[in-house]
Amino acid sequence: MVDAAAIAKLREAFAADLSAATTTRDLQAVRDRYLGRKGGLVPALWAEVAAAPVDVRRDLGRLANDLKTFVESELSDRRRALDRRAAAGTAAPQTDFSLPGRIPRVGYRHPLTLVRERIEAIFGRMGYEILDGPETEDDYHNFEALNMPREHPARDMQDTFYLGVPFQRTVVPVGGNRPGLMRDNEPGVDASTPRATPATLLRTHTSAMQIRYMQGHLPPVRVISPGRVYRRDNLDQTHTPMFQQIEGLVVGEHVTMADLKGTLVGFLSDLFGSGVDIVFRPTFFPYTEPSADVFMRDPSLGPRWLEMGGSGMVHPALFEAVGYDPERYTGFAFGMGVERIAMLLFGVDDIRQFYENDVRFLEQFGH
């Protein structure tokens, strides 16, 4: 027969079971034991209360109800306490202050960027201005103004990527000292138009920048222009269809071939060390006269002469194209491959490595 004492005993039993429960599994077992639908002690108590004589049923009902509320709230308090402990318990071992710190992985600058910056620093110290230029070009700047008219066989020297659709560029005004001139246009194109001559090709050399710069600036000129160029070459150990060049141009009164030689010898000795040998060998370029290929030999790397680039005295036809007086001004120009320089500096024997983006290659060059 259920009575108030039996209910009080059940409450004590529950409190004892609860305090013995130390895991969530224990807690679940206590819940099942007291609140389980089938055979749970509290529902069983309710059944007994319902069967009790009418005169005590009401009081017993209230006590049973209190017990149920007590059991439920104690169980949920304990569950929360256990959850908190579990959270704290798993967090604790994660923080091991004795472990060495992790060094964050930082990126590396590309070897071609490092080389380009070294080249720019050397010419910067010599007082050169450093220019960027467009990679899409028109025939005029890439060929014609460089003394390579349409039927000129020299155009066969470079296999060109032509654009399927001419690319209309908007003229970006560049601060020059020839404000009257439309810097981006061929002569004869209305200077008031904001439209440049459409590009029809990917530039095959940075020499196109010689014309662009002179169109916007009067002498004295002392510039280098690094950038990407494109040719229809197949990929192999020494060729990529896109590569980088550095163009140089100096124009003034009394600029001589001795200045050209002195500049390139100074530049290459600065970059590779004063022990290198440099020779100039006569050759032909339509935009220079005389023209010279530049060869370098580094005795510490072996007896071979390596071709570093082309150079020469600016052909008077270029001055005529840009409206400089060829009787008054002379100049020299040169063009060099950046990959070739990087390959020599870093001992890389396959040009393709620069463009494969293999981190194992890239991370060898430091920041």
What residues form DSSP beta bridges with 336?
Answer: 246, 309
Inter-residue contact 145 to 318 (CB < 8 Å): yes
Alpha helix stretches (DSSP H) within 187-283? 208-216, 257-272
User: Judged by CB, which is closer to ligand DAH: 196, or 249?
Assistant: 249
- Tell me the closest approach of the beta carbon of residue 257 to ligand DAH, in angstroms: 12
**Closer CB to ligand DAH, 147 or 207, in the complex:** 207
Closest contact distance (angstroms) between CB of 354 and ligand DAH is: 18
* C-beta closer to ligand DAH: residue 155 or 205: 205
Tokens 């005529």 belong to: 320
Q: Which is nearer to ligand DAH, 216 or 310 (CB)?
A: 310
Torsional class of 355: left (φ above 0), alpha (ψ -120 to 50), beta (otherwise): alpha
Taking the complex as a whole, the smallest distance from the CB of residue 228 to ligand DAH amounts, in Å, to 12
SS3 of residue 305 by DSSP: coil
Q: Which CB atom, from 200 or from 206, has the smaller least distance to ligand DAH?
A: 206
Query: Based on CB atoms, which residue is closest to ligand DAH, 287 or 365?
Result: 287
CB of 334 to ligand DAH, least distance (A): 5
Q: What share of the chain is helix, strand, coil (3-state, %, to 5)?
A: 45, 20, 35
**Half-sphere exposure of residue 8: CA atoms within 13 angstroms, side-chain side:** 3
User: Positive or negative CA dihedral for 58, 64, 70, 76?
Assistant: negative
Bridge partners for 230 per DSSP? 242
Q: Which residues bind ligand DAH (CB under 6 A)?
A: 205, 207, 247, 285, 288, 310-312, 333-335
**CB 207 to ligand DAH: min, Å:** 4
Residue whose CB is less far from ligand DAH, 113 or 283: 283
SS3 32: helix
DSSP E strand stretches across the chain = 129-130, 136-137, 162-167, 199-202, 221-230, 242-252, 277-285, 288-297, 306-314, 330-337
CB 131 within 8 A of CB 123: no
Cβ distance to ligand DAH smaller for residue 78 or 155:
155
Minimum distance of ligand DAH from residue 335's CB (angstroms): 3
Instruction: Report which DSSP code applies to 288.
Output: E
**What is the b/e burial string over 280-303, where b = at least 16 CB atoms within 10 angstroms of the residue's CB?**
beeeebbbbeebbbbbbebeeeee
Q: How far is the CB of 310 from ligand DAH (least distance, A)?
A: 3
Least distance (Å) between residue 314 CB and ligand DAH: 7
